[in-house]
Amino acid sequence: MYGSLSKLIISTYEFYHLVSINDILYCQSNNSYTTFYVKNFGQVKVSASINKVEEKLKGHNFIRPHQSYLVNAEYIQRISKRQGMKIYIGHDIIIPVSKRMKKDFLKNIENMCRIQIP
């Protein structure tokens, strides 16, 4: 028997991509397709709903801030609290937090270690 899941096999029309789960920055949905954004690899688009992807990644530190996004909490660098909450991954990736999912998102963030300076 194999150890705990550390890689995800992402099946596309041409390839099976074996991707380390820790290298997935975030996933973005476009109807029934989901695009994986993978560190040092690029993008992989699959014919699967983000709900199915979220189910596969459950228990691996992924947070759902929006109906179209699933984010690896390890790569969140900051979260804006003004003018609509947004997640920053690096300097150039900005992911919105929807009003509908804001409460659950904040609850998930609260479960992470937090130091607040007034």
- List pLDDT tens digits, range 62-87: 999 999 999 999 999 999 988 789 99
Residue 48 located in a structural domain: yes
Please give the share of the chain, as a percent, with pLDDT higher than 90.
66
pTM: predicted TM-score of the whole model, two decimal places: 0.87
Secondary structure of residue 6 in the 3-state scheme: coil
Residue 102 located in a structural domain: yes
First vs last C-alpha separation in the chain: 49
Name the one residue in this structure whose structure tokens are 């929006």. 66
The domain of 94 spans 7-107
Burial of 54 (0-12, 13-18, 19+ CB in 10 A): middle
Residue 73 located in a structural domain: yes
Residue 29 located in a structural domain: yes
Residues 69/26, Cβ–Cβ less than 8 Å? yes
Backbone angles phi, psi at 2, to 5 degrees: -80, 155
